Amino acid sequence: MIVVMKPSASQEMIDRMIRRVEELGMKPHVIVGVERTVIAATGLERNGVQAELEACEEVEKVMPILAPYKIASRETRPEPTVVTAGSLTVGAGTIGVIAGPCSVESEEQIMQVAAQVKDAGATALRGGAFKPRTSPYAFQGMKEAGLELLAAAREATGLAVVTEVMTPHHVDLVCRYADVLQIGARNMQNYHLLQAVGETRTPVLLKRGPSATMEEFLLAAEYILDQGNRDVILCERGVRTFETHTRFTLPLATVPYLREKTHLPIVVDPSHGTGIASLVPAMSAAAIAAGADGLIIEVHPNPSKAVSDGAQTLTPAAFEATMQTCRRIAEVMGKTMQ
Amino acid sequence: MIVVMKPSASQEMIDRMIRRVEELGMKPHVIVGVERTVIAATGLERNGVQAELEACEEVEKVMPILAPYKIASRETRPEPTVVTAGSLTVGAGTIGVIAGPCSVESEEQIMQVAAQVKDAGATALRGGAFKPRTSPYAFQGMKEAGLELLAAAREATGLAVVTEVMTPHHVDLVCRYADVLQIGARNMQNYHLLQAVGETRTPVLLKRGPSATMEEFLLAAEYILDQGNRDVILCERGVRTFETHTRFTLPLATVPYLREKTHLPIVVDPSHGTGIASLVPAMSAAAIAAGADGLIIEVHPNPSKAVSDGAQTLTPAAFEATMQTCRRIAEVMGKTMQ
Amino acid sequence: MIVVMKPSASQEMIDRMIRRVEELGMKPHVIVGVERTVIAATGLERNGVQAELEACEEVEKVMPILAPYKIASRETRPEPTVVTAGSLTVGAGTIGVIAGPCSVESEEQIMQVAAQVKDAGATALRGGAFKPRTSPYAFQGMKEAGLELLAAAREATGLAVVTEVMTPHHVDLVCRYADVLQIGARNMQNYHLLQAVGETRTPVLLKRGPSATMEEFLLAAEYILDQGNRDVILCERGVRTFETHTRFTLPLATVPYLREKTHLPIVVDPSHGTGIASLVPAMSAAAIAAGADGLIIEVHPNPSKAVSDGAQTLTPAAFEATMQTCRRIAEVMGKTMQ
Amino acid sequence: MIVVMKPSASQEMIDRMIRRVEELGMKPHVIVGVERTVIAATGLERNGVQAELEACEEVEKVMPILAPYKIASRETRPEPTVVTAGSLTVGAGTIGVIAGPCSVESEEQIMQVAAQVKDAGATALRGGAFKPRTSPYAFQGMKEAGLELLAAAREATGLAVVTEVMTPHHVDLVCRYADVLQIGARNMQNYHLLQAVGETRTPVLLKRGPSATMEEFLLAAEYILDQGNRDVILCERGVRTFETHTRFTLPLATVPYLREKTHLPIVVDPSHGTGIASLVPAMSAAAIAAGADGLIIEVHPNPSKAVSDGAQTLTPAAFEATMQTCRRIAEVMGKTMQ
């Protein structure tokens, strides 16, 4: 931790800070510059220490040196984590594709789309049974009946089921049906939920919050990992910026950046990331070229009749064409895709 | 709802859209322009309809006309809502000030600061017992023991207690101690939690999420109101932008803007909104001048020893000076402040 | 243009607005809804009319229907524009790659890097002679001497020269040396400069401003096109968002989005878009997969000795490896790349 | 400057970095931590050094300690700068109010509004003669004829004239008529323009770019100051964020923050900062309460007939009411306002 003192800091204030650093269990190194004094504190950077030292009047700023996440860090585990859940494998050269409707709507719909995405090359089925909706008046999902239909679709196609869990007391229920628990973007910092899924041994797909930094994203993963569940898939799904021509801004540099920082696999959601179906094929291809370990894509037999998210949903035909391009790009990248 | 067709839309496509609008229970009005046709659909704008129509290939864009929130809207209730909870009154000309530490740390700390903020003019005590922390390794709060200390401080000072609840199954517990339930920014779209506090009759302080739009903020309030709890206080606490010199960017135009849209009272959190103690006095004064119904401010007997958020925490003396300025500005605005 | 009246608007106010719309040369269509009245105005949407109507007290909001740019629009010209400048061709299936150092530093440096990037497959040479720098104390470029070196490097390699012009009175000078005039991101809305380059017949590479919307970007191009210069290349170089782990956030969805809206070619700058050399190869590949017509990449014989932007600059070896991957992806996309 | 080495950096790499720091004229202090080594470099932080060191492979990050602006810094000049230009005084306890229309439209308009804003308490007149417009098809201003009308209005009312200059070769012309040269937000990093106005001795009102950081803003001021013109007024006019309910997001914390960093006076533009006339009075009051040295407000005799920016323009009556509130708040803040 680097503590930059104000130019006006007296020797007494500097001495006080040196003692404070020692009290905090770190070793102070004092560097007297022309304009100001800097104290480098080595040793464990206990969480909260930065804010604490910044609260001292004579301090200009405090700069941490170490990353605050540990288990998620590539420094602790250099080799990539591979997450396997039934038919889905993600990581270390194997690309997984999770496809399906935003919401489970009916048996006919989910059975039909499951078969279609499987044929096109998907390796898992997505579908929302519990739906977080901005408005209390919007369709909130089929709930347990939706989970049952997802399980039936798995039975019929062999596809692993990825579905969202929204609150701690649903975790047991959703675990009974799902192969992968999805944590939605709005819940990325719902810590009780993170701990609850961390206590299971079901793999988790953790979506990045729309204004989460990389550090917050990895610390959210750390909440899950710290409970003992090591099967976490990170998902970039777009961030909120001043851009309004797309629903969110999809920053694909997340993929190579996270690759340097963590061993966890990274998938991309071009459907939410753009909000516009016509942009999804290009951004799916771009995600694979950027090095993603997988995709999660919304597909519906008839997008304009979908109960939610129709505008960003591919038809089965568009999904199949997208898969063909992605497969060829995966090959260029030296990766395996079904 | 205004449906703008693509210039390339054929008459057949336009006819199909007209029928679709009728199926959705709205009345279509067709306007043939030079370059493209527009269909205005009057009647109930059912939630999800916008996305549904935008999913049609021949549609360029769909623009809603009506606000999606109802109970929160000033159109349904023009007179301002006043929320009262013990010693705290907020709204319609009465300014409430909620002050106290980020976290409850000990009996001595909370008793001392409660007395200090009361003397300076606070009308409620804040203090976190359950703490949402970015890192799993940071101090997570004193939990129920913290709630007990808050209740003791209320006993001693008469100040109403405002404290955060993080997960639905803690709602009953926190209700036993708190006068106002705080929903933190990270939980603004934790819908199960919103519904759970909506089922109580304890007033709720709802913090704006750091990337929430005004519409999302009011729809989050609507989740609570829709369960029957009408005592919702909105809290602007800053948004995430490209600015890094402050912790968040505090957009005070929220205050007069929300005033036009909703009858709910609006308070401002200049502590989280800036993250820097030296900026808090100026932004507190500015919030009152912008028309806020209240403030929520972090105060600690010794900020540099606070276990969390020290950098943005006022000393009791700085808080008292801030209150004096705010009181005089409140007077200019024709409002009452203790 | 759609004019939404406030619910409180009287019949008299509505009549006044109808006359106003007629005065503005548009045809009003009145739609009386349950809660409010909407007036659709068809015909020419003169610039500034939206703001004008929004200034009327009884108006809630005004929503334009037509895009404000004309010459840049794909509606006026469906076939793609191909820009050719010496060795560089960009658009309609041909990918151009512009590579070279941030700044021209010396004859040796520019000659060496020009030969290196040519060997690796670049089709044009970039290099700054006039440098816009955030600080007045930073290196401001070699100016005309730098232009002469660029011309010498073109002589030696045959590579077209792309270089920035910063102010109208330099346009003639830079035109004497450059094959393509670059307008930097900070000057995207420097309208006198846009008009000055619009008056030449030298192709222009227009960089997106870091907080420009798509509409502002295309209107900036329109300033150039409107002066008669039709050879405009659009360049996405990243936008400013809350993300700090990269220098800017590079939103590749710009590429397929602009493809739908404009016939102009689109290139991507992964160097400024990320600011980190190790992320450039992945984002170059992703840009090609997203459908870009070209790339502009910073390459230097010795990045750690570069006078500017070293952190985001590739070595010649890294550039060559990047080109190899991009070439194979271009093939998958059915495009030609040298 | 603090250079954080990667955990993987070898002793040889560390030694190489130590020599590099010495070559750059700084003194290295090596701190060996448990996980990585940090080198603190004291002495002059030459511009560009940060990027240069970050380009070295073995370096994780480089953190500057000193602010890159010098003349603008409060460290070099603790006492506040007061800018005076005819009737306008801004700074050190005196609040100046600049008011008038977005564009000069006619003699009648500018004469009328000048008299009205003077009566209400404005101390300077604003009005655009050269107008930067997003679209090439929008009204571009009356140009020199507009400047003549502004001078005539000054003649009639005694109000100093504040007007924008858009390009270096207009600087002489505009100086002949203006008391204060305005640099618009889009030109904040138009360095040739900044240098051109820096060479004059006419005071400059520098608007913050909509995505400029505080450091970039102060460095833009530094470009002007460095040419010898010390009369620079900083103007916060809102930044671009994800918020769409206002035209820009107006971050008033800029005011107390800049106060700590610079001696230059700071004014606020609530008209562009919100884009909505009904929010301007509240944000004007808030700006004064936040400590601003002045305001710049758009006023027009008939906003709905204004050729530009009508939606954010106050009527003379609304402006007068706003001034009354601001005057009383200025009094609370211990400041003088006419």
Q: Tell me which chain B residues have a C-beta less than 8 angstroms from the C-beta of A168.
A: 167-169
Question: For residue C138, what pLDDT is reported?
Answer: 85
**In chain B, which residues have pLDDT < 50?**
none
Give the confidence band of A252 by pLDDT, cuts at 50, 70, 90. very high
Whole-angstrom distance, CA of residue C72 vs CA of residue C70: 5
Residue-averaged pLDDT of chain D: 93
CA C158 to chain centroid, in Å, comes to: 25
How many CB contacts within 8 angstroms connect chain B with chain C?
56
Question: For residue A63, what pLDDT is reported?
Answer: 80
The C-alpha torsion from A178 through A180 and A186 to A190, rounded to 10°, is: 90
Predicted confidence (pLDDT) per residue in D81-120, tens digit: 999 999 999 999 999 999 999 999 999 999 999 999 999 9
The C-alpha torsion from D285 through D286 and D291 to D292, rounded to 10°, is: -70
Predicted confidence (pLDDT) per residue in C44-81, tens digit: 777 667 777 877 778 888 887 778 899 999 988 999 99
Burial class of residue A302 (count of CB atoms within 10 Å of its CB; 0-12, 13-18, 19+): middle
Lowest mean pLDDT among A61-65, A270-274, C78-82, D281-285: A61-65
Q: Who has greater pLDDT, A158 or A19?
A: A158
> Three-state SS for D230?
coil
Question: For residue B47, what pLDDT is reported?
Answer: 66
Strand stretches in chain B, DSSP E: 2-5, 27-32, 37-42, 59-63, 83-85, 88-90, 94-100, 124-126, 160-164, 180-183, 204-207, 232-236, 266-268, 294-298, 336-337
- The mean pLDDT value for D220-240 works out to 97
pLDDT at position D47 over 70: no
Question: For residue C170, what pLDDT is reported?
Answer: 97
Residue with tokens 């300033």: C223
Whole-angstrom distance, CA of residue D81 vs CA of residue D62: 33
Question: Strands C160-164 and B27-32: what pairing?
Answer: unpaired
Handedness of CA A62, A64, A69, A72 (dihedral sign): positive
- CA B198 → CA B169, B243, D252, distances in Å? 13, 34, 34
CB atoms B290 and D291 under 8 Å: no
Amino acid symbol at D309 = D
In the stretch 92-131 of chain A, residues with CB closer than 8 A to chain B read: none
Give the predicted TM-score (pTM) of the model.
0.94
Residue with tokens 């090609």: C288
Which residue on chain A is closest to C279 by alpha carbon? A256
CB atoms C257 and A239 under 8 Å: no
CA B63 to chain centroid, in Å, comes to: 26
**Residue from C236, C257, C237 nearest C247 by CA:** C237
Whole-angstrom distance, CA of residue B238 vs CA of residue B282: 15
In the stretch 299-338 of chain A, residues with CB closer than 8 A to chain B read: 303-311, 313
Q: Tell me which chain B residues have a C-beta less than 8 angstroms from the C-beta of A190.
A: 167, 186-187, 190
Whole-angstrom distance, CA of residue B43 vs CA of residue B49: 12
Q: Is D47 on the interface with C (CB under 8 A)?
A: yes
Cβ neighbours around D25 below 10 Å, total: 11
Structure tokens at D9: 């950096």
Q: Is C253 on the interface with B (CB under 8 A)?
A: no
Which residue on chain D is closest to C58 by alpha carbon? D304
> Three-state SS for A85?
strand
Residue-averaged pLDDT of chain A: 93
- The mean pLDDT value for C285-290 works out to 98
Beta bridge partners of B209: none
Q: Is A158 on the interface with D (CB under 8 A)?
A: no
Predicted confidence (pLDDT) per residue in B70-111, tens digit: 999 998 899 999 999 999 999 999 999 999 999 999 999 999
Predicted confidence (pLDDT) per residue in B126-171, tens digit: 999 999 998 898 889 999 999 999 999 999 999 999 999 999 999 9
Structure tokens at D17: 């970095």
Beta bridge partners of C5: C59
Amino acid symbol at B76 = T
Question: For residue D64, what pLDDT is reported?
Answer: 79
Whole-angstrom distance, CA of residue B254 vs CA of residue B238: 10
List the Cα angle C26/C31/C33 in 5-degree steps: 150
Cβ neighbours around B71 below 10 Å, total: 19
- The mean pLDDT value for D196-224 works out to 97
Cβ neighbours around D98 below 10 Å, total: 29
CB atoms B31 and C42 under 8 Å: yes
Question: For residue B73, what pLDDT is reported?
Answer: 94
- For B132, the closest of A189, A215, A277 (CB atoms) is A189
Question: For residue C6, what pLDDT is reported?
Answer: 85
Residues of C29-64 as b/e, b for ≥16 C-beta within 10 angstroms? bbbebeebbbbbbbbebbbbbbbbbbbbebbbebbb
The residue of B165, B190, B242 whose CB has the most chain A CBs within 10 angstroms, and thus the best one to mutate to test that interface, is B190
Looking at chain C, which subunits does it touch, using at least 3 CB pairs closer than 8 Å as the criterion? Answer: A, B, D
Beta bridge partners of C88: C85
pLDDT at position C200 over 70: yes
In the stretch 281-300 of chain C, residues with CB closer than 8 A to chain A read: 281-283, 285-291
Lowest mean pLDDT among A8-22, A112-126, B224-238, C310-324: A8-22
Q: Is D239 on the interface with B (CB under 8 A)?
A: yes
Q: Tell me which chain B residues have a C-beta less than 8 angstroms from the C-beta of D245.
A: 213-214, 257
In the stretch 50-79 of chain C, residues with CB closer than 8 A to chain D read: 51-57, 68-69
Predicted confidence (pLDDT) per residue in D303-328, tens digit: 887 777 788 999 999 999 999 999 99
- For D4, the closest of A34, A65, A244 (CB atoms) is A65
CA A22 to chain centroid, in Å, comes to: 37
